[in-house]
Amino acid sequence: MAQEVIDVEALYRRYGPMVLRRCRSLLNDEDQARDAMQDVFVQVLRRKDTLRADYPSSLLYRIATNTCLNVIRSRKRFTRGGDMPENLPGRDDPEGRTLNASFLQHLFEASRPGTRSIAETYYLQEATLAETAEECGLSVSGVRKRLLGLRARSLELMAG
């Protein structure tokens, strides 16, 4: 029995307003809500051959919710402060920048190979854990462990 291919255009016309309402309610930002809505339908388009559209409103609602939650997580990650290298003390003066560069060099020299690439992808390119894992060829839990280890080592270095 062949699976019916999803008509993404028809879904967009029929359920686009519902998806946009869901995105607006979660994100409270019109531009981000519209971007998230487009992302939802891009995901459906990419997976239209494997998705089942038995209950399209439920499927789209779930994808919209997950997409918006990822946007919210991304927002929080970069508003925490202290996690980004530019939030290191002394970044506005030459001596502080030199000390920061020395600190980061020492930190990454003491880390496993590839940890610098993981940190750059996650923090500087603003990738999610999943995107970082895919980029670096690791599992999400592997990336999380490396970042937690890096954070612990950086705290040790700053304390000692």
Q: Which structural domains are found in the chain, ordered by start?
A: 8-77 (1.10.1740.10), 85-159 (1.10.10)
CA dihedral 27, 31, 32, 36 (to 10 degrees): 110
Each residue's pLDDT, cut to its tens digit, for the chain (160 residues) gives 455 667 888 889 999 999 999 999 989 889 999 999 999 989 888 888 777 778 888 888 989 998 988 888 877 665 544 445 555 555 556 666 676 677 777 777 777 888 888 888 887 777 888 888 888 888 888 888 888 888 888 887 777 6
127 backbone φψ class: left, alpha, beta (φ>0; ψ -120 to 50): beta
* C-alpha pair distances (Å), 119 with each of 9, 47, 64, 78, 82: 39, 30, 28, 14, 14
